[in-house]
Amino acid sequence: MKVGIVGGGPAGLYLAALLKDADPSHEITVVERNPPDATFGWGVVFSEETLSELRDADYPTYLAFEEHLVRWNSLDIQYRGEVIRSHGHGFSAISRKVLLSLLQQRCRELGVELRFHEELDGLDRFAGCDLVVGADGVNSTVRARHARDLRPALHRHPTRYAWFGTDLVFDAFTFIFRETAHGLFQVHAYPFDGATSTFIVETTEATWQKAGLDGMTEQESLAFCEELFADHLVGHELLSNRSLWTSFVTVRNRSWHVGKVVLVGDSAATAHFSIGSGTKLAMEGAVALAKAFQAHPGDLGAAFAVYELERQPAVERFQQAALDSAGYFETVSRYLGFAPEQFAFNLLTRSGRVTHLELTRRDPALVNRVDRWFAGVGGVPAPVPALVPLELGGLAVPNRVVLGEAGRGAGLVVSELVAVSEHARLTPESAGLYDDHWQRHWAQLADQSHEAGERVAVRLGHAGRRGATRPSRLARDWPLPPTDAWGLLAPTAAPYTPRSQAPRAMTGQDEADVLEDFAAAARRAAAAGVDVLLVDCSDGYLLHSFLSPLTNPASDRTRYPLEVFRAVREAWPADRPLGVRLAATDWLPGGLQPDDAVAFAATLAAEGCALVDVAAAGVVPRGASDYRRGYLVPFADRLRNEAGVATIAGGRVTTLDEVSTIVAAGRADLVRLDTGPYYSSS
Amino acid sequence: MRIGVGIPTTTPGATGRLVVDWAQRADEGPFTSIGVLDRIVYHSYDPLTALAAAAAVTERVRLVSMVVIGPLRNTILLAKQAASVDAISGGRLTLGLSIGARHDDYEAVGVDPGDRGVRLTEQLGAIRDAWEDRSVGPDVAGDGPRLLVGGASGEAFLRMARYANGYVHGGGPPRAFAAAAARARAAWVEAERPGEPELWGQAYFHLGGGDAGAAYLRDYYAFTGAFADRIAAGNLTSPAAIKDLVRGYADAGCDELVLFPTTSDPDELRRLAEVVG
């Protein structure tokens, strides 16, 4: 087979070596536009798993690497003058320059033709090849040439980073957080040989500009950073190699192959540097592609299919973790008030791959310290964070788990929508709190829960234009037959679906009546012994449809929901927590955005709101989450740490370990555990 | 997990006789359902017509569309056809609906594909209404045919949770099904629907040896470009591969897995029965 490889980075060289080693009759040419010793960046990181994969794939290369690897298993977090060291994180690193020269050497030994200083104008040079490989990096020209078939999607991250080196040899993977008058800077640093470390400085675009870095030369930038991190560099210097203040680009492609062309390495997929996996992904990709050719010699279609089937799911998982990690660093300044224990735990669990349990396995001492801090206890073994009581506006909630069902040991049982009047109901079977019968019903439920040690929250609301539908056994939002239906209210007369009953646009009198219904129901809830009241502003029910621009053309969209909140507050005992259930986003352009929710939550917090139960979408019958694990957690995190209010997170959280991870990391205070289908599934 | 078998309505050279005989033989077991696919611009049979024929020669198996592309069809006609198949079969229809992926099908019937998701959402509500108010078609038994919705987007899961009885997956390895099933359940929980969604999976098989099955899949999925190779590579061509997939789907919580033939070889049904029976 004649093979032309565009790009002499780790992916291209390693693939060339693997293919040639498997079948010496292959004629392989690697074309690289830079000289053999040119390299950008300093060191690269591998995990133990990657190394064992490289060992299996090509032992001589692995042996050559091994001599030059630096290994360590600690991770330091330098935050507010304190260093928190975490153990049990096995990493290895190697100089990128050494890595490339070893791969070049291996290629030459095997008889791969390496051509440097060659710009490839088009792919004509490889026209006679049986296989053309685009290993030409994040800005791949091969990918651009075939964009119509490969369908690349590029995401440019909103931070700036400079990839420096330093002659300070760190003894751990080190994160440094440095607050300045311009904003926060953070460093990702790790050693990669006996004399040098990688030292990546990252900051937001805004801070970068405020600090004047956009107008500085390379030398000035270097001097700026040396001065900024003088305490940490302790007399050592920073080294630059032209990799300065770029924005990371996450590359995805729907397909990695078209015809006889295939992508490998950064041209196919990148993962943000904060999880240190770019080179690892590239080389693992080369291994998978080489294996696919061994399994299907002479059948490009089959080999490409196997390569993608094998590799794409793994890469997507890594990219998601990398995006979560990058997102953490983009917004890390919101956590600057955290205690060091919580700050460290939050950082270590940022990508979703490390949970409380996994970190316990790696570093029991640190987790014990975090747990003791979280529980506020001294030297005795502390409970896992999920089981630590929460002090909520004077109420002791016995643990961090929220369920919709009583009697199963939740800290807080939160009801479904409870209607403030008969006409506020969702369906004829909906619960209410508008007469003595319902008051007795809730008093009984509250008693039962209290006996079981649980606290009870009622989600008080008005179904708005989603009301008067059938019970959801067969469908949601299926209107009742007109003979059984009651009239609906909403900010405007637009129906929820084309088949739904049109609501009446609320008049001033309607607003006053519903306000009084809320207040009366709140008094009944108090009398029934309910512990927490949540005013419902979610799921497209009445108050959510006031808040969303998709359903309320008025400019002061928070006016009425705020009036209702105040009226309920007046009716509700001052010594019991009052909260809201709030849509944090409509998941739609032009809809309610997280920024709006943060602003409203901050207003509510100032008005005495003690808890936000975080929801999303529903205001129109479109707008959907991706329903990934914990999909509401990022919103709970934002609301909690930007609006300064306790939150309930949820959205496909199914294990107590996740609950512990979320609350100990300070992303939420309580977590709704989805049980039912997950637990009963065969 | 129950196991169904697809009827060869899209494979090359499938005669009308084969379609009917296959359905009749599948009814003898061990299969619990027989499935059909939908495609307009292809040498294939109309799914509901094929199920009507199957209904006439079967007594036991559930009849399932995986899927009918809803927006290609007039909603009331679709509701009436489905009610008819349901009535002819004595209430054995499970109607899977989705938006499909091929623009040529939309062009062929003159429907704008632009708002097909919104249209399908509206169709689901209208179909439920039509069945319930009995304005068209034979009376449906009970609540009418079970409704499944397919698709991989968040909107598709939302649509499923709002209107359907369950989710129908488009095929792939067990881990892909498991991921989709978890999202379907999450959407179901968020919609506050009681119980659990039915979860249906599908896969392709060819046990007769040779490359004919893979060749058909490359042709059938040619519109997906390079993706067709992957689908062809996923074809189950050995008893071990089928058993592995069945185990994987069962572990992922699949309620019913339907295995579709990729050739018109009538012996494929017997071969599959020997593996899964």
Per-residue pLDDT tens over the stretch A487-533: 999 999 999 999 999 999 999 999 999 999 999 999 999 999 999 99
Interface of A with B in 621-680 (CB under 8 A): 621-629, 631, 651-652, 674, 676-678, 680
What six digits make up the tokens of A175? 């994160």
In this predicted structure, the answer to whether residue A681 has a pLDDT above a threshold of 70 is no
Residues B244-266 pLDDT 10s: 999 999 999 999 999 999 999 99
Q: ω before A530 within 30° of 0 (cis)? A: no
pLDDT greater than 70 at residue B48: yes
Indicate the SS3 state at residue A415: strand
CA dihedral defined by A226, A228, A230, A232, rounded to 10 degrees? -110
Quick one: tokens of A193? 């040989």
Q: Determine if the pTM surpasses 0.95.
A: no
The secondary structure element, H or E, covering residue A402 is: strand A401-403
Task: Judge if ipTM > 0.95.
Answer: no
What single-letter amino acid sits at B116?
Answer: R
pLDDT, tens digit, 9 for 90 and up, residues A524-582: 999 999 999 999 999 999 999 999 999 999 999 999 999 999 999 999 999 999 999 99
pLDDT at A379 over 90: no
A676: pLDDT strictly greater than 70: no
**Distance (Å, rounded) from C-alpha A354 to C-alpha A367?**
12
Secondary structure of A466-481 as H, E, C letters:
HCCECCCCCCCCCECC
Lookup: tokens for A317: 């998982």
Q: What is the distance between the alpha carbons of residues A24 and B7, in angstroms, rounded to a whole number?
A: 48
Closest CA to A89 of A275, A321, A233: A275
A491-529: burial string, b at 16+ Cβ within 10 Å, e else: bbebebbeebbebeebeeeebeebbebbbbbbbbbeebb
The distance of A51 to chain B (nearest Cα, Å) reads 26
pLDDT of A626 over the 90 cut: no
CB nearest to A676's CB, from B157, B163, B189? B189
Cβ–Cβ under 8 Å, residues A410 and A403: yes
Q: Does A313 touch chain B (CB under 8 A)?
A: yes
- The neighbour count for residue A581, using CB atoms within 10 Å, is 25
Residue the block writes with tokens 């800005």: A139
Record: contact A628-B183, CB cut-off 8 A: yes
Which residues in chain A have Cβ-Cβ distances shorter than 8 Å to B122?
497-499
pLDDT at residue A337 above 60?
yes
Write down the mean pLDDT value for chain A.
94
Cross-chain residue pair A627–B183, CB shorter than 8 Å? yes
Report yes or no: A145 and A121 within 8 Å, Cβ to Cβ.
no
Q: What gap in Å lies between CA A522 and CA A579, rounded to an integer? A: 12
Yes or no, beta carbons of A499 and B194 under 8 Å apart: no
Please choose, from the candidates B272, B131, B148, B162, the residue with its C-alpha nearest in 3D space to the C-alpha of residue B206: B272
Secondary element (H or E) of residue B88: helix B75-88
A294/B219 Cα distance (integer angstroms):
26
Of A478, A626, A678, the CB nearest to B154: A626
Angle between helices B174-190 and B154-163 (to 10 degrees): 60
Query: Is A541 annotated as catalytic?
Result: yes
A260 CB within 8 Å of a chain B CB: no
Cβ of B196 within 8 Å of Cβ of A682? The answer is no
The beta strands (E) that lie in A236-275 are given as 238-239, 249-253, 257-258, 261-263
Per-residue pLDDT tens over the stretch A185-216 = 999 999 998 899 999 999 999 999 999 999 99
pLDDT at A679: 52
Residues 387-446 of A with CB under 8 A from B: 416
> Are A625 and B194 a contacting pair at CB < 8 A?
no
Question: How far apart are the C-alpha atoms of A71 and A73, rounded to whole Å?
Answer: 7
Contact A627 B230 (CB under 8 A): no
Question: Is the pLDDT score of B226 beyond 80?
Answer: no
In angstroms and rounded to an integer, the radius of gyration of the C-alpha atoms of chain B is 17
Cα A134 to Cα A148: distance, rounded to the nearest angstrom: 15
Q: Are strands A489-490 and A504-505 parallel, antiparallel or unpaired?
A: parallel
Dig out the tokens for A166 from the structure. Answer: 């330093």
Q: From the candidates A79, A190, A496, A541, give the one annotated as an active-site residue.
A: A541
Burial B153-164 (b: 16+ CB within 10 A, else e): ebbbbbbbbbbb
Q: How many CB pairs under 8 A join A and B?
A: 116
Q: What backbone phi and psi angles, to 5 degrees, belong to B254?
A: -70, 135
